[in-house]
Amino acid sequence: MEPKVYINGKLYPKNEAKVSVFDHGLLYGDGVFEGIRCYNGVVFKLEEHVGRLYESAEAIALEIMLTKDELRNAILDTLKANNLRDSYIRLIVTRGVGKLGLDPFNCGESQLIIITDSIQLYSKELYDKGLDTIIVRTIRNHPDALNPTVKSMNYLNNILAKIECIKAGAAEGIMLNKDGYVAECTGDNIFIVKDNEVFTPPASAGILIGITRNVVIELAEEAGITVKEEQMTPDDLFNADECFLTGTAAEIIPVANIDGRKIATGKPGKITLLLLGKYQELTTSHPST
């Protein structure tokens, strides 16, 4: 069966799912998106992802033509039409078709696209071994310019960082903020473990508030582990007992080394493995909607 893609209320076979070259999403990266996973027929943290999509849209004065309920149903209908129980869902809202020139108010209605596909960022081996990472030179967008809390279609900041890390042979790039503190990775949030406590940069570091990040914080606290949202420096990373990354696509993945320096033994640490186990339990037992 050919995959079907949802565009503005209709399902199109994958090869016929197209948008106009005059869509400001294409012309200017003007739009917002979400990446969501569906595990065994249950969309993981659907409420939270839909909530973040609307907040991102609000931040760029973009109107989504569906209510949250309608959007949730459109996602579920698209999964059903594709007969998918395990999937990676890409929700995209573009500014819509307009004239050349930046003015977003020239555009017609925003376009809603739902792609249901799969994603595997890293091999199974890397989940066992941990990632090689580097600290990139590209700094994370200044929050007063383009706030990283907005999950916009304009990912060039992250792509520049990704190019740096690929050229260096690393799997992920750790981005610092304008003040030299650790922010996040090109497509993941970052955590360290030090003396049995878990640390992650705060919102004020200029990061996307990851939904996986929030789940991991909850799981750690439920397990009686102290979690601190604190500014951290590259030295804090190098001196960590453990380091791992979180994201919808990557889930939880250990970091083996940063800039060629091993994190502790270079093997995934015990708190990382504990949280990974709990995350897997949660996504396979699916108490969330």
Positions annotated as catalytic residues are 151
Structure tokens at 54: 């609307």
Site for ligand PMP in 52-111 (CB under 6 A): none
Q: Which is nearer to ligand PMP, 75 or 107 (CB)?
A: 75
Closer to ligand PMP by CB, 4 or 184: give it. Answer: 184
**Nearest to ligand PMP of 98, 248 (CB atom):** 248
Q: State yes or no: residue 31 binds ligand PMP (CB under 6 A).
A: no
Beta carbons of 257 and 242 less than 8 angstroms apart: no
Does residue 208 touch ligand PMP according to CB under 6 A?
Answer: yes
Q: Does residue 212 belong to the site contacting ligand PMP (CB under 6 A)?
A: yes
Out of 130, 247, 268, 269, point to the residue binding ligand PMP (CB under 6 A): 247
The yes or no reply on residue 188 touching ligand PMP (CB under 6 A) is yes
Choose, by CB under 6 A, the member of 79, 171, 211, 258 that binds ligand PMP: 211
Give the interface size with ligand PMP as a residue count (CB under 6 A).
Answer: 15
Which of positions 217-246 make contact with ligand PMP (CB under 6 A)?
246
Amino acid at 25: G
CB within 8 Å of 77: residues ≥ 6 apart: 6
Instruction: Decide: helix, strand or coil at residue 165.
Output: helix
CA distance 95 to 251: 29
What is the secondary structure of 171-186 as a DSSP string? SEEEEE-TTS-EEEES
- Which residues pair with residue 35 across a beta bridge? 90
Residue number, 96 or 247, with CB nearest to ligand PMP: 247
Instruction: Output the CA–CA distances (angstroms, integers) from residue 104 to 13, 31, 278, in the order listed.
Output: 29, 10, 44
Instruction: Say how far apart CA 33 and CA 77 lie, in whole Å.
Output: 18
Task: Name the residue among 21, 85, 33 with its Cα closest to residue 62.
Answer: 33
Q: Which residues in 126-185 contact ligand PMP (CB under 6 A)? A: 158, 184
Q: How far is the CB of 187 from ligand PMP (least distance, A)?
A: 4
Bridge-based pairing of strands 87-94 and 111-117 is antiparallel
Q: Does the protein bind ligand PMP through residue 206 (CB under 6 A)?
A: no
The single residue among 210, 254, 268, 269 that binds ligand PMP, judged by CB under 6 A, is 210
- The crossing angle, in degrees rounded to 10, of helices 46-59 and 68-81 is 120
In the complex, least distance from residue 178 CB atom to ligand PMP, rounded to whole angstroms: 16
Measured from the CB atom, is 204 or 265 closer to ligand PMP?
Answer: 204
Binding site for ligand PMP (CB under 6 A): 35, 158, 184, 187-189, 208, 210-213, 246-249
